[in-house]
Structure 1
């Protein structure tokens, strides 16, 4: 397939994916609806095979290869999810696959691709550098390059998610919020919804550190590594320019809070890119009337990153409070502090004493406490109570 895919191409992809890609659920979140001030529904694509939507486009592409192309194998470049999907699809087709990933790609995604039988090579700092290495391997081996987004077959496959949304979302106006990196998913969904549900708005979301469609130059790393693409494709950009209603930006702090909320209240594990649409809805940036459907596009986050994000999200929301108190260095002072904290129903997670290397008097010590609190209001109450008791309180985070 060449050129721009059509709704017929998307429907044909659905036939190829029958029995392969799961029809992932859509459900309403009461908590998110309350926080957003409008009905919020989640498209749980993180429950898809290989943990993300990418299996749709990868399988649709590989299923259309000729026998000669299959014999030469496939090569791809990916920050993780696309690589896993290509590895899985290639294994199912019985053909060799090599995946080139950035050196800083999450190890959970790298090991998953290897687990599906692909050869994985680490190269470059980001997708663009990895793609250049992958294209060199294609020229060397005569293999087929399965692009993550700039391929009509990939776009058509991703568009099958849009066919599901067209059937799953209630009749009437609404807004579909979708993460945008290279633009393959958003392009495919846009083609499907434009044909079948034109009353629905489609809003793309990018991470603040890498938001080229929003006119921002790359600023550095982001926890939404799955959409950290510096240069969207020409094909996807042309589709999105015509069919995307808006593009908005969220920062890592907002994404972290969304990950924590999805984990705690919706029982969904989402990676940064997958949580970005939820973050945009909660920030009130997507506009439109009717329900907002956030596409949770992927859930492949490694445990180390998830631990860091959860801790950060709890701190940002005021549920982890870290304070330093200057106190007299004498018996009973720490017990007094702990009793004040207990009276306010907070939990002490850790305590450290500092007597050296700081602006501390001879008969003083600094106690650094990490506390578990209910929310920001509770944190502020604790700080006031400690200050009213005569302690010098310095909030660290």
Structure 2
């Protein structure tokens, strides 16, 4: 027997006490998007809440239901941002003390927003899990009421008011509602309400490819903790789905869609052009799923609704999002071209490229028979990539499409240049570490000094995770010793020595 009674949850959504704090946000028709996709697209604008996220609904409903004695003890929570701000606002409204535990990697803008609303932020650990453990210890020691960000029934009920409003605001029942999904509170609440009144409406959960918490659990039929989580869309970067949210989702979610980070960035751009609002990556997640579904021909016929879940984006992340948006939309192609290192070869390449708009061009002379150039070109769609490759092939130029290559997009396009000595073999690794003060220093300190670093690239993207590309000179037969040493850093790593972009641009010919 299921743990959660959906009829009871529907009644809780009906009675949810959210509007002392939450706005009844509009569900807006998006004419430009609708024309581009040939479908009626509607945007549920939760980015317009005072805390710029739907999370205010669940927090408001949960704290509204506390007894006077519970409010006197105060509340606590763990969050990297949106739930924290919702809790801070709700606690201030109901005059109860709030202590919010946040990872050290939390951007200052979110920490300051929590403090500005009267809550006490405490920065602990590098991840949500560590902050959550500290919050639970605090609740046990002080008697404060711990409010989970997504797996409590009253929190889920508060989020469910989003679904209630959608059905009330739409001119007819939508064919599908695409819901951004992390811990599952929003999709569980929206799905419960919508399926009770509009059972033919598809509920489609959208997750990043690197944080498929719900899909993994649904496929397994039980809660599964992911070993690693891509933190790009930090608002949904959750390792473990909730017990309650999974139970509900198994009954109300029709399908799961996974999308790339580039597709999310493209959706951020689409939303900006439709609303002049810059949403956070998690806020654009549902639209990225809808676009993928429509282009694949698998979206149901009829009106399609997406939840714009939040707009708490750091200013220093916007440049990175813009950089990746055109690749995600198929409006830019990044490729490597091999041309003879001789006079006239460059002219031949430019003629093959034709009148196409170049977004970037990277080249450095090397004393080798073949030159490699890294090129970005404006395109109208992904379909144009094949035409560019065909034009180059006709001119005798070999091309490698790097538009989906993570190393090229994150590192290589910013560092094309010198090559290492060929005297000692080189190994290349990609690392990820928590982006907190001192993290890069700690990373370097943890590297074993006996290995000579031959390449290093790092850029701060304003994310909770830092990314480093690092090359090491390794005498023959010492690779196992090197990797044993690198494992001691404790940071996730991946070998990139065989990456074609590295081979063409950063490695001397053997």
TM-score, structure 2 normalization: 0.66
Q: What are the residue-to-residue correspondences of 1:44-193 with 2, within 5 Å?
A: 44-172=45-173, 174-193=175-194
Determine the C-alpha separation between the residues in 2 that align with 1:101 and 1:339: 52
Residue of 308, 311, 320 corresponding to 2:323? 311
Q: What are the residue-to-residue correspondences of 1:250-265 with 2, within 5 Å?
A: 250-265=259-274
Contact residue 46 and residue 269 of structure 1 kept, 8 A? no
Q: After alignment, is 65-74 or 82-91 more displaced?
A: 65-74
Cα displacement (A) at 1:7: 2.9
Give the secondary structure class of the aligned counterpart of 1:220. Answer: coil
Q: After alignment, is 121-130 or 295-304 more displaced?
A: 121-130
Cα displacement (A) at 1:34: 4.3
Determine the C-alpha separation between the residues in 2 that align with 1:176 and 1:222: 24
Counterpart in 1 of 2:245? 236
Residue of 7, 12, 25 corresponding to 1:9? 12
Cα displacement (A) at 1:183: 1.8
Give the secondary structure class of the aligned counterpart of 2:211. Answer: coil
Cα displacement (A) at 1:381: 6.5
Residue of 343, 346, 358 corresponding to 2:357? 346
Residues 210 and 343 (structure 1 numbering): CA distance in 2 closer, same or farther, change over 3 Å?
closer
Q: Which has the higher contact order (CA 8 A, sep 6+)?
A: 1
Determine the C-alpha separation between the residues in 2 that align with 1:328 and 1:53: 56
Contact residue 45 and residue 295 of structure 1 kept, 8 A? yes
Give the secondary structure class of the aligned counterpart of 1:248. Answer: strand
Residues 150 and 270 (structure 1 numbering): CA distance in 2 closer, same or farther, change over 3 Å?
same
CA offsets per residue over residues 232-256 of structure 1, 9 Å max, x none? 2222222222222233322323222
Residues 341 and 72 (structure 1 numbering): CA distance in 2 closer, same or farther, change over 3 Å?
farther
Q: What is the alpha-carbon root mean square deviation over aligned residues? A: 3.4
CA offsets per residue over residues 274-314 of structure 1, 9 Å max, x none? 22221221112764342121111112221222321221121
Determine the C-alpha separation between the residues in 2 that align with 1:152 and 1:274: 23
Determine the C-alpha separation between the residues in 2 that align with 1:18 and 1:390: 66
Give the secondary structure class of the aligned counterpart of 1:194. Answer: helix
Counterpart in 1 of 2:282? 273
Contact residue 353 and residue 391 of structure 2 kept, 8 A? no
Cα displacement (A) at 1:55: 0.3
Residues 210 and 222 (structure 1 numbering): CA distance in 2 closer, same or farther, change over 3 Å?
same
Give the secondary structure class of the aligned counterpart of 1:304. Answer: helix
Residues 9 and 390 (structure 1 numbering): CA distance in 2 closer, same or farther, change over 3 Å?
closer
Contact residue 183 and residue 214 of structure 2 kept, 8 A? no
Determine the C-alpha separation between the residues in 1 that align with 2:68 and 2:117: 21
Cα displacement (A) at 1:125: 4.1
Cα displacement (A) at 1:395: 5.9
Q: What are the residue-to-residue correspondences of 1:10-25 with 2, within 5 Å?
A: 10-13=13-16, 16-25=17-26
Could you tell me which runs of 5 or more consecutive residues in structure 2 were left unpaired when the two chains were aligned: 218-224, 404-510
Cα displacement (A) at 1:370: 5.0
Cα displacement (A) at 1:95: 2.5
Counterpart in 2 of 1:355? 365
Contact residue 344 and residue 382 of structure 1 kept, 8 A? no
Determine the C-alpha separation between the residues in 2 that align with 1:152 and 1:35: 39
Cα displacement (A) at 1:53: 0.3
Give the secondary structure class of the aligned counterpart of 1:49. Answer: coil
Determine the C-alpha separation between the residues in 2 that align with 1:353 and 1:210: 36
Determine the C-alpha separation between the residues in 1 that align with 2:348 and 2:120: 56
Determine the C-alpha separation between the residues in 2 that align with 1:24 and 1:352: 46
Q: After alignment, is 261-270 or 308-317 more displaced?
A: 261-270
